[in-house]
């Protein structure tokens, strides 16, 4: 089945100004992401940056990366991707993979695995990924999103709270984790293009508003989300100037 990777990119960023265009070894970060994604998928897979600035379009095109100018007033990445699907005229059954534009170290095997999910699970409208939590601090951290899956590998719920809760945790082991290990959600998604186009028109779910997790809208409306369990912890994204310096050091060493 045909696959298109869409990389949303927004020029404004409160923590790191003009983040998609920051330099990583002589190449803009969003271009680094696109180049890395190309390593993961078949040569006929289309990789497109969906952005809100002509400067990003020009930077991508200078390195041979296709870029699409979308509206500047989108409130979320999925709204931007929905417009991109429309502009590209993607058929309803095409698989769309959403890779964030601030993850130049994303694991290429993860991209390929999430892209394949919807072929494996025709009942699912979306696919995503998770990995086992191995630190109790992550289990209790509200910035670390957890997911619980059913026996068929479909997401039952996503939460910032520690789920599934370990009721009988030993009192003398405050840092212990339940078995099987909880799952940390990884923010990469695959969609069927028809579903992605319709997603912004779905009413927000009350739990989506409470948790500030957009994927809960799909579950609330009865859509299934297949989850790939990765054995590899993904590399760090770039959200702050400190993150940028750490990733720049890795590119300078060639260890990326």
Q: What is the pLDDT of residue 145?
A: 95
Kindly give the pairing relationship between strand 23-24 and strand 27-28: antiparallel
**pLDDT attached to residue 256:** 66
Query: d(Cα 132, Cα 8) in Å, to the nearest integer?
Result: 27
Tell me the per-residue pLDDT of 120-168, one tens digit each, with 9 for 90 and over: 999 999 999 999 999 999 999 998 999 999 999 999 999 999 999 988 8
Confidence at 255, pLDDT banded by 50, 70, 90:
low
Q: What is the pTM of this model?
A: 0.90
> According to the model, what pLDDT value does residue 170 have?
83
Q: What is the mean pLDDT of residues 26-37?
A: 94
Closest CA to 24 of 35, 15, 14: 35
Q: What is the DSSP string of 100-160?
A: -TT-TT--HHHHHHHHHHHHH-TT-SEEEEEEE---HHHHH-TTS-EEEE-TTSBEEEEES
C-alpha pair distances (Å), 154 with each of 150, 205, 206, 217: 5, 19, 21, 15
Query: What's residue 1's pLDDT?
Result: 67
The stretch 100-118 carries a mean pLDDT of 90
């Amino acid at each position: 089945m045909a696959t298109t990777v869409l990389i949303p990119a927004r020029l404004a960023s409160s923590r790191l100004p003009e983040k998609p265009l920051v330099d990583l070894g002589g190449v803009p970060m969003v271009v680094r992401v696109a180049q890395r994604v190309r390593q993961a998928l078949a040569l006929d897979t289309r990789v497109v940056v969906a952005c809100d600035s002509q400067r990003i379009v020009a930077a991508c095109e200078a390195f041979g990366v296709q870029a699409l100018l979308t509206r500047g007033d989108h409130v979320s990445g999925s709204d931007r991707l929905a417009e991109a699907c429309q502009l590209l005229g993607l058929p309803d059954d095409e698989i769309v993979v959403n890779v964030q534009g601030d993850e130049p170290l994303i694991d290429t095997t993860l991209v390929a695995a999430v892209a394949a999910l919807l072929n494996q699970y025709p009942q699912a409208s979306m696919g995503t990924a998770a990995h086992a939590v191995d630190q109790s601090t992550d289990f209790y951290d509200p910035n670390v999103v957890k997911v619980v899956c059913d026996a068929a590998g479909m997401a039952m719920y996503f939460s910032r709270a520690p789920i599934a809760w370990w009721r009988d945790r030993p009192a003398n082991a405050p840092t212990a984790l339940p078995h099987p290990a909880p799952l940390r959600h990884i923010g990469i998604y695959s969609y069927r293009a028809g579903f992605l186009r319709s997603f912004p028109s779905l009413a927000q779910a009350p739990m989506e508003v409470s948790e500030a997790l957009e994927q809960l809208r799909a579950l609330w409306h009865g859509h299934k989300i297949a989850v790939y369990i990765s054995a590899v912890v993904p590399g760090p994204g770039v959200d702050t100037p400190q993150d940028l310096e750490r990733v720049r050091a890795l590119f300078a060493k060639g260890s990326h």
